[in-house]
Amino acid sequence: MRVLVCFGGSDPHGVTERLASGLSDGSAWVATAIVGSHHRPLEPLSIEVVRDPVDLAERLADCDLAVLGGGTMKFEAACLGRAAVLVGAADDQLAVGPPFAATGAAIWLGDGRTIEPRVVRETLDGLAADGERRRAIASRASKVVDGLGAERLADAILDLAPATA
């Protein structure tokens, strides 16, 4: 199982470093952390780290499971039909991660700045052993986010705009 890990381009609270020990390669998976170009230099971690990859979309599409912050990338993973485990990597994600997970499109674990790394590892162990659950989350995710939101928003704005002469 291929696990992609990403907590935002800069990860100002160091969630990647905090959780790396719990995300180190297990017997059932190989994890790769993605960090952005503005992420501070990292000490060697127990998982592979890739900085600002040009093929991020392909990496996300190719993973079996994504461990993500509760921000925008959860929508990208869902649109690609990827199962995701979410943690808050910033204050604003604490309010939006749980309702998204409540749709069945992801699993919410809590605040990544304080959660015990073993909780993330136990969740990965469980999902590695339960392909049916991973597939169910991925299937639900692709139904919750279809990638057509921008078009719907544009249509709604046009519907609200006054008619021009």
Q: Give the residue-averaged pLDDT of 4-18.
A: 91
pLDDT tens-digit profile of 113-122? 999 999 999 9
Alpha-carbon distances of 27 from 22, 106, 129, rounded to whole Å: 13, 23, 11
Calpha distance 84→101 (Å, rounded): 9
User: How confident is residue 61, by pLDDT bands cut at 50, 70 and 90?
Assistant: very high
- Residue 35 CB coordination number (10 Å): 24
Question: Which two three-digit tokens encode residue 1?
Answer: 């199982």
Contact 139, 81 (CB under 8 A): yes
**Mean pLDDT, all residues of the chain:** 92
Residue with tokens 């990859």, as numbered in its chain? 53
Q: Which of 6-15, 90-99, 156-165 has the lowest mean pLDDT?
A: 156-165
Q: What is the pTM of this model?
A: 0.90
User: How confident is residue 165, by pLDDT bands cut at 50, 70 and 90?
Assistant: low
Q: Give the residue-averaged pLDDT of 123-144.
A: 96
User: How confident is residue 26, by pLDDT bands cut at 50, 70 and 90?
Assistant: low
User: How confident is residue 39, by pLDDT bands cut at 50, 70 and 90?
Assistant: confident
Q: Would the pLDDT of 25 be above 70?
A: no
Q: Percent of the chain, pLDDT > 70?
A: 97
